[in-house]
Amino acid sequence: MNDTIFGKIINKEIPAEIVYEDDISIAFKDVNPQAPIHILIIPKKLIDMPQNITDEDDNLVGHLFSVASKIAKKLNITNGYRLVMNNGQDAGQSVLHVHLHMLAGRKLTWPPG
Ligand code: AMP
């Protein structure tokens, strides 16, 4: 079951600017970008929070990172990028469907706020 806003994007029930898709993942532009390039890479399988990722998801979650690498090549991101996964309230997770933020196109500060 995919009953979050991201589930609706997976099912093409609401529009998104999709930059990559395969059988197990989809990546699309964030509607509220925090950098010139801000993409969300998500598994099609619903896992609500990173804390609920289990051993059986190892390949799936690893895949999100290789997708990021593919997107970097596709979009010609040569100056670096940041990959972030928020978990829970204090980290500001607002959508309960695991997602990897990919931020690029500007100098990013560290530590994040
Ligand atoms: P997080 O706060 O880590 O849960 O990230 C959720 C992200 O999803 C935020 O950066 C939102 O801007 C983004 N977002 C929410 N709804 C949509 C949508 N319909 N299409 C694209 N991005 C979205």
Write out pLDDT tens, residues 45-100. Answer: 999 999 999 999 999 999 999 999 999 999 999 999 999 999 999 999 999 999 99
Of the listed 38, 97, 99, 101, which one is catalytic? 99
**Ligand 1 pocket member 95 (CB < 6 A):** yes
Parallel, antiparallel or unpaired: strands 37-43 and 100-104: antiparallel
Nearest atom in ligand 1 to the alpha carbon of residue 94 is 4
> Would you say the pTM of this structure is higher than 0.95?
yes
Is the predicted pLDDT of residue 2 greater than 70, yes or no?
A: no
CA-CA distance, 8 to 20, in Å (whole number)?
16
The three-state secondary structure class of 19 is strand
99 is catalytic: yes
Structure tokens at 84: 């972030």
Contacts of 92 (CB under 8 A, 6+ apart): 86
Cα 8 to averaged position of ligand 1 atoms, centre (Å): 13
Instruction: List the CATH code of the domain at 5-104.
Output: 3.30.428.10
Give the start-to-end residue ranges of the domains of the chain: 5-104
